[in-house]
Amino acid sequence: MANKPIGMREVRELLRLYFKQGFSGRKAAKVAGVGKTAASQYIAGFKSSGLSISVITGMSDSELI
């Protein structure tokens, strides 16, 4: 999956699977179609943001970036 652009839909799905469904990072990455390294970076970035998963469902893509 190297150099494949990751859309916001995939990022939202990754975070939902990891935080709401309790998937492991590796499993969430596979289901969302995101590479393991990118997934771990998105998950770590989200954790450090201080936001909750319920907050991002109401955010637009530009706000989430």
Residue 1, judged by CB atoms within 10 A of its CB (0-12, 13-18, 19+), counts as exposed
Round to whole Å and give the CA distance between 50 and 48.
Answer: 5
pLDDT classification of 57: cutoffs 50, 70, 90: confident
Check whether 34 has a pLDDT greater than 70. yes
Classify residue 64: in a domain, yes or no.
no
Average pLDDT over every residue of 28-56: 95
Choose among 57, 20, 15, 61: nearest CA to 38. Answer: 15
Give yes or no for a contact between 14 and 39, defined as CB atoms under 8 angstroms apart: yes
pLDDT, the chain, mean: 92
Q: Report the distance separating Cα 55 and Cα 16, nearest Å.
A: 11
| pTM of the model as a whole | 0.88
Q: Where does the pLDDT of residue 24 fall: very low under 50, low under 70, confident under 90, or very high at 90 and above? A: very high
What is the model's pLDDT at position 64?
Answer: 80
Contact 56, 64 (CB under 8 A): yes
Total domain count for the chain?
A: 1
Domain boundaries, position 40: 8-55
Answer yes or no: is 44 within a domain.
yes
